[in-house]
Amino acid sequence: MSSALVLLSGGQDSTTCLAWALERFAHVETIGFDYGQRHRVELDFRTKIRTRIAALKPEWAARLGEDHTINLASLGAISACALTTDTTIEMGENGLINTFVPGRNIIFLTFAAALAYRRGLRRIVGGMCETDYSGYPDCRDDAIKALQVALNLGMDRRFVLETPLMWLDKAQTWVLAERLGGGALVELIRTETLTCYQGDTGTMHDWGRGCGQCPACALRAKGYEGFRRSPAS
């Protein structure tokens, strides 16, 4: 169980998960998904993130393996939500924000498991969280555990779906990054990752790049403020 595959989107959470995996496993590969997201520019950040995170620690550089990008354009085509179309981001009548892409994490983890099967990787690491999030049902711990059972039965493998951020709020996620890679990792995440649903790379805040208005930016900004006030920082 010394190898892992990390879902790396180019955002804060997935970059923190990559550092978490590099600290624990002897061999770590990454996977990203292009599903026609309106903030697709985040995928362009992945190469620089991998290069810079490998430079933080020699052991991390030695452990970082191949990167894989999967085209899931069909997911974006059938989703028709505010994350895949030019639609105003707002709360839906069902109480769920309309950036929810139905089945996204289920599909991501299934494709990741298929790749992990071929690559001989047993742990699959994702940044899903139900502590400080937008209410997406496929981010919940119960959903991830149920999917792990289904994948293991369906592929006859002993995959472990790791979610190191599941019970952390965004401030604690910043703290975790600092514990893993010090101020250098915090600065990497602050300046070189993109979480913004609008894909705004030109506006820089103290917490990083983004429009500052979308739910993802709001969560990131609130978390960074809490992190800066915490004794650990």
CATH code of 221's domain: 3.40.50.620
pLDDT value of position 164: 98
Span 191-216, mean pLDDT? 92
As for how many domains the chain has, the answer is 1
The residue that leads in pLDDT, 161 or 76, is 161
Host domain of residue 121: 3-229
- Residue 83: predicted pLDDT: 67
| Residues near 192 by beta carbon (within 8 Å), at least 6 away in sequence | 45, 48, 49, 52
Amino acid present at 168: L
Q: What is the pTM of this model?
A: 0.92
Least reliable range by pLDDT among 8-12, 92-96, 157-161: 92-96
Q: 46-104 pLDDT, tens per residue? A: 999 999 999 999 999 999 999 999 998 888 777 777 666 677 777 777 777 777 788 88
Distance CA 79, CA 36 (A): 10
pLDDT score of 182: 97
Considering only residues 72 and 14, tell me which one the structure prediction assigns the higher pLDDT.
14
Are 199 and 42 in contact, with CB atoms under 8 Å apart? yes
CB 71 within 8 A of CB 78: no
| Confidence band, pLDDT 50/70/90 cuts, at residue 132 | confident
